[in-house]
Structure formats: C-alpha cells, structure tokens
C-alpha cells in the first residue's frame, strides 16, 4: 500500500511516499521514512487525528510527525492578552 509521511516546521516541510505491506502500522512507516527530524517527534497523527505507533494504516493515508510545542499554550495566551492590554 502507498502512504505519505510528512513533518513540518514553521517555514518548510518534508515528505516522502512509501510502499508498505498490508497491515503496516504508523511505526513501520516512521521507520521506513527517510526524513530529517523524525527521531525528535512528540507524537503522530493520521490525517490530523492523533494516532499511536501501533495504529494500522490504509492505502493513501498521510502520517504526520508532530513536533514538540515550543511554548506552553497557556503561556502563549497570557502573552497575547498582555500585549493587547498594553496596546490599548
């Protein structure tokens, strides 16, 4: 079966298409992918839905390698709110 594996950064992305056997999992796709940064992922998704390494793949699936967050979401909201208050 043919699946796509992708990883994205703020201003670029990398992708590769793989031919895997039936019953292949997310872990199989990640192992087979030749992508920079694949060893530093925080999680996985298939078409934007969180997935585990043992999740079985289907023909045409897109496996997304999720990077760690750079800033805690609560802290980012506080910073934005503070900037908006300061600008008024």
* pLDDT, tens digit (0-9, with 9 covering 90-100), for 42-87: 999 999 999 999 999 999 999 999 988 777 888 888 888 888 876 5
Bridge pairing between strands 43-46 and 49-51? antiparallel
Question: Is the pLDDT score of 88 beyond 80?
Answer: no
Bridge pairing between strands 2-9 and 12-19? antiparallel
| CATH number for the domain formed by residue range(s) 2-86 | 3.10.20.30
The pLDDT of residue 63 is 98
Domain locations in the chain? 2-86
Global pTM value = 0.78
Tokens 């031919």 map to which residue?
19
Bridge partners of 14, per DSSP, are: 7
């Amino acid at each position: 079966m043919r699946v796509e594996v992708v990883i994205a950064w703020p201003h670029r992305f990398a992708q590769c298409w793989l031919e895997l056997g039936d019953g292949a999992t997310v872990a199989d796709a990640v192992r087979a992918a030749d992508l920079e940064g694949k060893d530093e992922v925080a999680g996985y998704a298939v078409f934007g839905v969180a997935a585990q390494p043992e999740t079985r793949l289907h023909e045409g699936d897109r496996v997304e390698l999720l990077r760690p967050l750079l800033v805690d979401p609560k802290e980012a909201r506080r910073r934005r709110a503070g900037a908006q208050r300061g600008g008024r």
